Structure 1
Amino acid sequence: MTSSAVFAGLAPRLKSQYNAALKAGSLHFTDSDEVELEDEATGIPFEVRYAPALAKKPTANKDSGSTASTADDSKPVDPFAPPYQQDLLVAEETVKEDDDDAGEGFVVLLNKFCVTPRHFLLVTKDFRKQTTPVSPLETFTAWSILKQLGSREKHLAFFNCGDESGASQPHKHLQFIPISTGMAPFDSYIDAHKPAKPQQPFQLPLPYANFTALIDPPSSASRSDLVAYLGQRFLELLDLMIDHRRRLSLSDPAALGLDAPTRGMRLSELSYNVVMTQQYLHLVPRRREKYTARASSDVDGGGEGAPGRTVSVNALGFAGMVLVKDEATLEVVKRVGVLEVLKEVGLPPLEFSDPQHAEDVGELA
């Protein structure tokens, strides 16, 4: 059985490579001001970062860690294809489930444009579509990295899937950021609302659909057991999302942007975000990528003023972290509240008053 650690010694390599890339000018760090907006109803300490310099940042290849190019300008460049920019390349490894497994190749790249120091990416070495669900081995690799780095500094991983998720590149990748405080904004809220049966997925009492599964594998689990366990945890959440979307497509198609009830859906067409820590997986289905202020009152408190502002939201929003690029948009978020922003880009939550729904979300799977 394969027992060596996944991406062993990653923490010091991330630190040294980040410092070298920053010094060489290969990596661009954008400073930001952080504003904490604690939600009165839930107590969640949302973090809003204000980074006006990002308004001038190039939008193409924004997570680039490669120097790949193409002679055909009609084809988009894959920034995650080799040859990798050496200053941004941290590590490469083939991760195996066991000794008989061929494994899957991964590369760790620094994010070329970052707001958080040491923001990095776990990229599939072979091209895989970002619209495909995270595989059991990919989930295991991400969790193993979180566990390893957590002994020094807690990190959070996230995955954007689909056109309305805030995804930036078609080549499959998960992203990681360090949590300087040691606790992500949702950690305490999730801990306070975990079910009596911790093996069951659950929905947090929030104004949008969300599904959480706690991660607590047996201490004696082998690597292959861990791969299966983590893959199953993610699959449970994916099944719940699909079931919820199916119900909405029949009962409230407008919530999905549909004109009429429908039964068909393709997994590759769904948009959702995944947030992962060492302790939990959190999945949120999406209906739109941006929040748009609907009225002048959202912008200037009720008087005539600037037109509606937009807030782009990716998975970090559902980890409690929102990024804005100008002061006017920051004021919008302060006025309406982060939960209202998340509600508008998510789906209506499960209604437990409906007799079709059991008290435990997990029983719906």
Structure 2
Amino acid sequence: MAATLLTASTLRDAIAQRTRHALQCGALQPIETALTHIDDGGVRFAIREVSSLARKEAARRADAPASQGMPQTPRRNPFLPYDDDLCVGELSSTHVALLNKYNVLDEHLLIVTRRFVPQEALLDHADFAALLVALRGFDSLGFYNGGPEAGASQPHKHLQTVPLPLDAVGAAVPIETLLDAAPPDGGRVPGLPFAHAFTRLELAGSATGETAGQDAQRALDAYRALLHAADIRTTEVDGVPHQRTPYNLLVTRRWMLVVPRETERVDGVSMNALGFAGSLFVRDAAQRETLARIGPMTALARVAKPARLNASDER
């Protein structure tokens, strides 16, 4: 099916139309949650208990290669080919927009490369150009899980966006309660007890042509600077820059945050980029209690690299 070329002005209506269709045909399978809050470290964390998370994990296991000692089969790539019923449209000549099949948050969008590119490849100008179409479409949070240790569930390169606010209570992005304390030129955010790099952005709410390209370049330059500041090491694979350190990226029209990662889970609770925005997901009440006991901010510190490894701290 030929996909429609999306613009910032047409994106949200296209998402709504495709959502109605995907729900009707069963392609979209929303996951119900129960929302609670835990206040920790100056942030009101949104904790969503995902009662049917097992459904998504079962699908992931079905897509995984056979176990060791058994005949190996390639892992199925849900993005090649993608499900037409989930396709919102084209963001560019290089990226398409898909609905997240197992969405916890409404209007959860996947920004996927048309051809296979590894998730560990660094983001480039085309990635940010596609992302900015989504960010301009409506106020939203863009995020990227750089590798399995950072919460990536698919090896095919994809960014994601979710609408703001993430929670009706408090800041649009819960972690924003701490961001105002960061220096005007960025760097470290007081109160975040793990390695990270932060900068403020001024991306136009709408743009076309040359301005859009300039904004994508501005975002790309900020991203590269943050990778360096957070000591995200890189390498080349077949001439393409790749990460050597797993990391999470958060982007809004107003700011960007990079967090280097060490591991995906703490005491069985998986964390991706949304955790560093202040939005965490647990399987059941037992995991929610685990988070309450550890403290969400401490849990984030345990899956991220220690603050002392932040390059800006070492100078």
**Is the TM value for this pair above 0.5?**
yes
Alpha-carbon distance, 1:143 to partner: 2.6
Residue in structure 1 matched with residue 68 of structure 2 by the alignment: none
Q: How far did residue 176 of structure 1 move?
A: 1.2
Structure 1 pair 91/217, CA: closer, same or farther in 2 (3 Å)?
Answer: closer
Inter-CA distance 158–355: structure 2 relative to 1 (3 Å threshold)? closer
8 Å CA contact retained: 2:204, 2:253: no
Aligned to 1:326: 284
Bigger radius of gyration among the two: 1
| Structure 2 residue identity aligned to 1:237 | L
SS at match of 1:28: coil
Match of 1:289 among 236, 254, 264: 264
Q: Which residue of 2 aligns with 1:34?
A: 35
Amino acid at match of 1:161: G
Candidates 177, 181, 193, aligned match of 1:193: 181
**3-state SS of 1:316 partner:** helix
Q: Distance in 1 between matches of 2:124 and 2:58?
A: 28
Q: Structure 1 residues 351 and 117, CA, compared in 2 at 3 Å: closer, same or farther?
A: closer
Match of 1:89 in 2: 87
Which structure 2 residues correspond to residues 87-236 of structure 1 after superposition, within 5 A? Answer: 87-94=85-92, 104-150=93-139, 155-180=140-165, 181=168, 183-190=172-179, 192-196=180-184, 198=185, 200-217=186-203, 222-236=211-225
The residue identity in structure 2 corresponding to 1:176 is: T
Aligned counterpart, 1:80:
79
Show the counterpart of 2:238.
none
Aligned mates of 2:222, 2:23 — CA distance in 1? 37
CA 1:147–1:350 in 2, change beyond 3 Å: closer, same or farther? farther
Deviation at 1:193, TM superposition (A): 1.4
Structure 1 residues not aligned, in runs of 5+ = 65-71, 95-103, 247-265, 293-309, 358-365
Residue in 2 aligned with 1:13?
14
* Identity value in percent: 29
Contact 2:144 2:248 in 1 (8 A): yes
Distance of 2:128 and 2:247 partners within structure 1: 16
Q: After superposition, what is the alpha-carbon deviation per residue over 1:37-63, rounded to whole angstroms, capped at 9, x for unaligned?
A: 111xx321111100122124344459x
Partner Cα distance (1:214, 1:37) in 2: 27
* Unaligned stretches of 5+ residues in structure 2: 64-70, 235-240
- How has the CA–CA distance of structure 1 residues 57 and 217 changed in structure 2, closer, same or farther, with 3 Å as cutoff? closer
Which deviations, in whole Å up to 9, do the C-alpha atoms of 1:273-307 show, x marking residues without a partner? 01111111111000111002xxxxxxxxxxxxxxx
C-alpha contact (below 8 Å) 1:61/1:79 kept by paired residues? no
CA distance in 2, matches of 1:29, 1:242: 37
CA 1:351 to 1:175, structure 2 compared with 1: closer, same or farther past 3 Å?
A: closer
Question: CA offset at residue 323 of structure 1?
Answer: 0.4
> What SS is found at the alignment partner of 2:224?
helix
- Report the residue type matching 1:114 in the other structure: N
SS in 2 for 1:36: strand
SS class of match (2:150): coil
- Verify the 8 A CA contact 1:201 1:236 in the aligned structure 2: no
Deviation at 1:86, TM superposition (A): 2.2
Contact 1:209–1:349 (Cα < 8 Å) also in 2: yes
Mapped contact 1:6–1:141 kept (Cα < 8 A): no
Does the 8 A contact of 2:203 with 2:254 survive in 1?
no
Q: Of 269, 279, 303, which residue of structure 2 is paired with 1:311?
A: 269
> Structure 1 residues 195 and 268, CA, compared in 2 at 3 Å: closer, same or farther?
closer
**Cα distance in 2 for residues equivalent to 1:234 and 1:60:** 33
* CA deviation after TM superposition for structure 1 residue 213, in Å: 1.3
Secondary structure of the 1:213 match is strand
TM-score of the pair, normalised by structure 2: 0.83
- SS of residue in 1 equivalent to 2:161: strand
